[in-house]
Structure 1
Amino acid sequence: MVYRGSVRPFVNFDAKQDAEILHRAMKGLGTDEDVILMLVAARSNNQRQQIKAAYKTSYGKDLVGALKSELGGLFQNLVVALMTPPVSYDAALLHKAIKGVGTDDAALIEILASRSAARLRDLHEVYERDFGNKLEKDICSDTSGWYKRLLVILLQGRREEGVDEATVQKDAKDLYAAGEGKFGTDEEKFINILGNRSAEHLRQVFAAYRNLCGSDIEDSIEGETTGNLENLLLAVVKCTRSLPSFFAESLYKSMRRAGTDDDTLMRIAVSRSEEDMLDIAACFKERYGTSLHNAVQEDTSGAYQKCLLYLCGPKD
């Protein structure tokens, strides 16, 4: 398997030496932000966890706490996110999304639509450990209706495996009958098929759907549903078709509005840096005619910008 992350494990890694470099960067008057960002962004998350342990052993202090006291603003948020284990980071994002003022549905939808089944199953345990509540219960208390139903189905991480050739055509016909083929919408049919079938199976269903009625499943979803349910169904379809394309579109939208959506920009940069950021950057350039590197450079500044650019991979 070809590695498609922009951040790779650092060769000749020495956790104790890195802890010492970070300590020196934060010692005395002023903080050397460039040293911090270059070191943190150039280490894998697993290596960052080892640096945290080495720092505690050498200096008797929590590294993340030390970084928080020395850094500020968006750069601080980005560095802290990078120092957090991936599942814990997702759990923290979900907790913030549903426990803050209002609900951050964009974060909720992105995480539950895009994460692997194994990651979603791990999230339950980590969320309860870190926040003392059950994730499903918290999501249910903050959402409602068919939107809540689909979130809960996705959260189980129990999609069927493989392709059931015998039901591809039936699923396509059922989706048509549930939406464009009737007055009103059978939301339950959309939710059960899109929430439970495997990605491979769904891609064949989408092709069969197009052959059946001459339009894409996205057109039906946009015509038959509204609000958060529509956004979640579309996210599931887009993630099924292509995760890199889904994230490229999200990044583009985060930087093409009045003010940058730094929460989305940071969330994707951190969570995809060791997954598929090189593919996301390639999709971004193909779809929007400019490099992800250039878009980030235009919309951000300072140490925050430098760190994001490193996470986004090569310039072109």
Structure 2
Amino acid sequence: MAAIGTRGTVTEASGFNADADAQKLREAMKGTGTNEAAIIEVLAHRTIAQRQRIKEAYKQTVGKDLAHDLTSELSGHFRSVVLGLLMLPHVYDAYELRQAMKGAGTEEACLIDILASRSSNEIQAINAFYKTEYEKSLEDAVCGDTSGMFQRVLVSLLTAGRDESDKVDEALAAQDAKEIYEAGEARWGTDEVKFLTVLCVRNRKHLLRVFDEYQKISGRDIEESIKREMSGCLEDVFLAIVKCVRNKPSFFAERLYKSMKGLGTTDTVLIRIMVARAEIDMLDIKAQFLKMYGKTLHSFIKGDTSGDYRKILLELCGGE
């Protein structure tokens, strides 16, 4: 199971009793109608580890699969959130990636959100589960659904080959910045492979130095240059990598804002981030959201969603 941080809004429930929670959920689904409030009360206030124990207790005491029962009782976005909460982090990521590539069309935003923001260890776990569960490597799935340089960047991220150390090589950072500059701003056309080689392989601290050096050489921020040199999904994935290196909670705050801004809500993005980050860094995401947009994430969700879907997202958000 992936290491869970201490900056989440969902923390261990004290006096936890898996059997009692399993019975509560059973009662919530018995008879006509479903008690959604009881489901929210249990699942939105238990950690991922505690939910796994509830699933086991439910199977032992009821003799049925909890996810299966909830699937048949619930519907829509509320069901999507609840089922996501029952999954381990790498299982949820693999499931979301699978959904993004199923059927006609591809949700490229999902591929970018997950692969640009996860650690090498997390990507290894996603790869292993995907292969076992779906009997196909994630790389093969991505290659069958994407093309060109965008595909090559995703494949590079999927190798989970990023240096995870804190080592900064000053001479190499200066060289990396120079090579990126010469591959983009300093020439006609763009050599995207050089961007890939640096952005998908170097460690976070080293990349922060590269970005500083790049600013000195080019007089531009690296994000500005990526926007000038690239377009479409390739621009999106490189920007996501840079933003995650600089400030991951800020990246997710921006994604949440854009998912709710304007006409309609991109519910898949909203759900994915709220479920995946609730136990990791949601407190930091909320702080960044307020700093960047002058409004609380809580108030945005409240004004943009409705019903039980809104209630469970607000619980995961953890109040104002």
What is the TM-score of this pair, normalised by structure 2?
Answer: 0.96
| Aligned counterparts of 1:218 and 1:263: Cα–Cα separation in 2 | 26
- Secondary structure, in 3 states, of the residue corresponding to 2:206? helix
Match of 2:223 among 218, 222, 225: 218
Question: Per-residue CA shift, 1:49-84, capped at 9, x if unaligned?
Answer: 110110010011111111112111111111011111
Q: How many residues align?
A: 315
Tell me whether 1:40 sits opposite 2:43 in the alignment: yes
Match of 1:95 among 75, 78, 98: 98
Paired residue type of 1:7: V
Paired residue type of 1:85: L
| Aligned counterparts of 1:248 and 1:76: Cα–Cα separation in 2 | 23
More deviation, 173-182/66-75: 66-75
Match of 2:145 among 127, 142, 150: 142
**Runs of 5+ unmatched residues, structure 1:** none
Tell me whether 1:106 sits opposite 2:91 in the alignment: no
Q: CA RMSD in A?
A: 1.2
Which residue matches 1:292? 297
Match of 1:204 among 205, 209, 228: 209
Question: Map of 1:26-37 to 2, 5 A cutoff?
Answer: 26-37=29-40
Which residue matches 1:80? 83
Question: Map of 1:98-247 to 2, 5 A cutoff?
Answer: 98-160=101-163, 161=165, 162-247=167-252
- Secondary structure, in 3 states, of the residue corresponding to 2:116? helix
Divergent runs of 4+, >4 A: none
| Aligned counterparts of 2:207 and 2:35: Cα–Cα separation in 1 | 49
Sort the Cα spacing of 1:257 and 1:222 in 2 relative to 1 into closer, same or farther, 3 A. same
Which residue matches 2:308? 303
Contact 2:5 2:280 in 1 (8 A): no
Sort the Cα spacing of 1:2 and 1:150 in 2 relative to 1 into closer, same or farther, 3 A. closer
- Secondary structure, in 3 states, of the residue corresponding to 1:196? coil
| Aligned counterparts of 2:224 and 2:74: Cα–Cα separation in 1 | 46
Identity between Structure 1 and Structure 2 (%)? 49
- Secondary structure, in 3 states, of the residue corresponding to 2:200? helix
Match of 1:6 among 9, 13, 33: 9
Match of 1:25 among 12, 28, 48: 28
1:2, distance to aligned residue in structure 2 (A): 7.6
1:257, distance to aligned residue in structure 2 (A): 2.4
What is the TM-score of this pair, normalised by structure 1?
Answer: 0.98
Question: Per-residue CA shift, 1:94-145, capped at 9, x if unaligned?
Answer: 1111223211100000100001110001111100111111111111111111
1:85, distance to aligned residue in structure 2 (A): 1.3
| Aligned counterparts of 1:254 and 1:5: Cα–Cα separation in 2 | 21
Paired residue type of 1:263: T
**Runs of 5+ unmatched residues, structure 2:** none
| Aligned counterparts of 1:173 and 1:182: Cα–Cα separation in 2 | 12
Sort the Cα spacing of 1:103 and 1:2 in 2 relative to 1 into closer, same or farther, 3 A. closer
Tell me whether 1:276 sits opposite 2:281 in the alignment: yes
Tell me whether 1:15 sits opposite 2:14 in the alignment: no
Tell me whether 1:57 sits opposite 2:60 in the alignment: yes
